[in-house]
Amino acid sequence: MEIVNTIAALKSLLETARLAGGKVALVPTMGALHQGHVSLISAAQAQARIVVCSIFVNPTQFTDPKDLEKYPRPLAHDLAMLETAGCDVVFMPSVKEMYPQPEEWHIDLGPAEFLLEGEFRRGHYQGVTQIVKKLFDAVSPDLAFFGQKDYQQVLMIRQMVKHFNMSLKVISCPIIREDDGLAMSSRNIHLQAEDRRHALVLSKALKYVKEHFSQYSLAELLHKAAEMITATPGIELDYFTIADGDTLLPATSKQQSNLVALVAAKVGDTRLIDNMLLFD
Ligand code: PAF
């Protein structure tokens, strides 16, 4: 496994590798890797000859400086995990490398930018698309892999790819859950034992909605899910919605074919998100 820290070194390494033929896949991460990330590496390996994983905690996507400061950075653990997973190249740039000078970034991501996470974390998706564009430019991947757990993020990245008319394929991979249903997340590390127990209600509420979808109206499903979550101690619900999977607008009919249930809540001091496709 090669580890590179600069865009120039990365480009020259990939140029040589590309000459040998085959597709290049990118798995962008902010580190603090877990089995969800490993599943992205495996999916990438199945479709590409060279898999690049980036580890970069991107400051421009954090809307709360405290969140950026406490973001976990277990580098030795991450590198060991990537080595075991058989990753080919790790790109670990500095902030200076990715942002050599202050820069403006604003692109039209469509109305979904301001819904759900966009409402609670204003500007978040501008920061995400800013860094992902830079990573795409540095790697020029044929394929890029993201986790479905950040459902809205995948939509925003697809929008950015369309905006710049980029030719790579963005692939969303299924959420990986712990045995008890908790969606894997780098932030789970912050959960105290009791919070972790309480956090299970998020996946339980999503599962309840999926399993009872044919039985109840949209309003009843939303009411029941919100009730389950707000009845759990230590949880502050930001939203629970059943939305159109493309626009993220609230579903108006159960007949819509592409519905997804999405939730965000603060569990103790940790904000978690999760979602479930209602038809898959
Ligand atoms: O999902 C993440 O870890 C980040 O938002 C990403 C896509 C690596 C951009 O910093």
Tell me the pairing of strands 89-91 and 2-4.
parallel
61 lines ligand 1 (CB under 6 A): yes
Do the first three CATH levels of 2-173 and 191-277 match, i.e. the same topology? no
Report CA(153)–ligand 1 centroid distance (Å).
8
pLDDT score for 280: 76
Report CA(23)–ligand 1 centroid distance (Å).
22
Residue 72 and residue 61: Cα distance in Å, rounded?
15
| Boundaries of every domain in the chain | 2-173, 191-277
pLDDT score for 17: 86
Q: How many residues does the chain have?
A: 280
The torsion angles phi and psi of 191, rounded to 5 degrees, stand at -75, 125
Which atom of ligand 1 approaches the CA of 29 most closely? Answer: 8
Name the residue among 47, 9, 37, 19 with its Cα closest to residue 175: 37
| Mean pLDDT to the nearest integer, 21-27 | 96
Token code pair at residue 272: 């978690």
pTM over 0.85: yes
SS3 of 65-132: the string is HHHHHCCCCCHHHHHHHHHHHCCCEEECCCHHHHCCCCCCCCCCCCHHHHCCHHHHCCCHHHHHHHHH
Residue 129 and residue 135: Cα distance in Å, rounded?
10
- Is the pLDDT at 127 greater than 90, yes or no? yes
> What pLDDT, in 10s, does the model give residues 69-105?
999 999 999 999 999 999 999 999 999 999 999 999 9
Pocket test residue of 39, 56, 58 for ligand 1, highest count of atoms within 8 A of CB = 58
> Which residue type, as a one-letter code, is found at position 244?
D
44 lines ligand 1 (CB under 6 A): no
pLDDT score for 61: 98
Residue whose CA is at the smallest distance from ligand 1 atom 5: 128
Residue 130 and residue 160: Cα distance in Å, rounded?
9
What is the number of other CB atoms lying within 10 angstroms of the CB of residue 95? Answer: 12
Instruction: Kindly state which CATH superfamily the domain 2-173 is placed in.
Output: HUPs (3.40.50.620)
CATH 3.30.1300.10 correct for 191-277: yes
Annotated active-site residue 37? The verdict is: yes
> What pLDDT, in 10s, does the model give residues 228-253?
999 999 999 999 999 999 999 999 99
Q: Which of 34, 37, 77, 163 is catalytic?
A: 37
Pocket test residue of 29, 39, 91, 154 for ligand 1, highest count of atoms within 8 A of CB = 29
